[in-house]
Amino acid sequence: MEITTIIGIGFGFACVIISIIWNGANIADYIDMASVFVVIGGVIGSTIASFPMSTLKNLIKIISKAFKKSDINLTEDIEMLIRIANVARREGILALEETVSDMDDPFLKKGIMLIVDGSEPTLVHDVMETEISFIQDRHSSAQGVLLQMSAYSPAFGMIGTLIGLINMLRDLADMSALGPNMAVALVTTFYGVILANIIFTPMAKKLKSMSADEILQKELLLEGMLSIQDGENPRIIREKLSAFLSRSQLRIAQDALEKSNQSQGSEE
């Protein structure tokens, strides 16, 4: 589970609640079901009207990714590509069909099978780049939905506030109710701002960050596959793919390589 998403949202709500209590207010004064209905119902309705069903039907599934820990590990991906490169150099390209048959990554499997089938490097590059482009489009559409929901939330909060103000102005004779009615009217704007800035916008940003990590992984895999197809030396491939790693990841990869070399030396 991606703990930072839960911590971030929880911390945001906790700070709001603590601020309310700190000022001596009653939490119950900030709860109004009519305001909740206007904001949430309005946001859902406008979102459904703004996007096709093909985009909306996978929204929950995509949003759930923000709460799942990413399994992307570029260091492990490089080691996997090096193993595939060694197989290709020892046994030939055709041996890769059996090597990738048990792999779970459909992107890698598709690229390797194109290579095994004798496709030209330019064709492999174009096909896999097209797939990467469509992955980006799918991710961007989900982020766009959340950002649009973030834009709608304050707007419907203001609509709810206007409804409350209209109702308040219709009954100005009772001055004792003026303050409470004004408070209820402003609660709706409060809900809209909370939804936009604690839930929708942060989740869209998290999905964008996770999408960037996945696209980087796909680019690394593609570069590795093309290098394998060109018959490059595994050491050269490792050096080339190391450019995709951050400094911390590079140190981890170097430590793992040194331990692997030491273990191999001791076995010999």
Which tokens belong to 131? 């797939």
Give the mean model confidence (pLDDT) for residues 33-50.
Answer: 91
pLDDT at 256: 58
Which comes out higher in pLDDT, residue 173 or 139?
139
Q: How many CB atoms lie within 10 A of CB 227?
A: 20
pLDDT on residue 32 = 85
pTM, entire model: 0.81
Length reported for the chain: 268
Domain boundaries, the chain: 3-25+34-267
pLDDT tens sequence across 124-146:
999 999 999 998 888 888 888 99
Q: Mean pLDDT over residues 70-95, rounded?
A: 87
Provide CB contacts within 8 A for 257, sequence distance 6+. Answer: none
- The structure tokens listed for 110 are 């598709």
Neighbouring residues of 84: CB distance < 8 A, sequence distance ≥ 6 = 96, 99, 100, 112, 224, 228
> What are the φ and ψ backbone dihedral angles of 103, each rounded to 5 degrees?
-80, 145
243 closest CA partner among 214, 260, 219, 259 = 219
Cβ count within 10 A of residue 2 = 15
In sequence order, the 6+-apart residues with CB closer than 8 A to the CB of 8 are 202
Question: Which is higher by pLDDT, 102 or 201?
Answer: 201
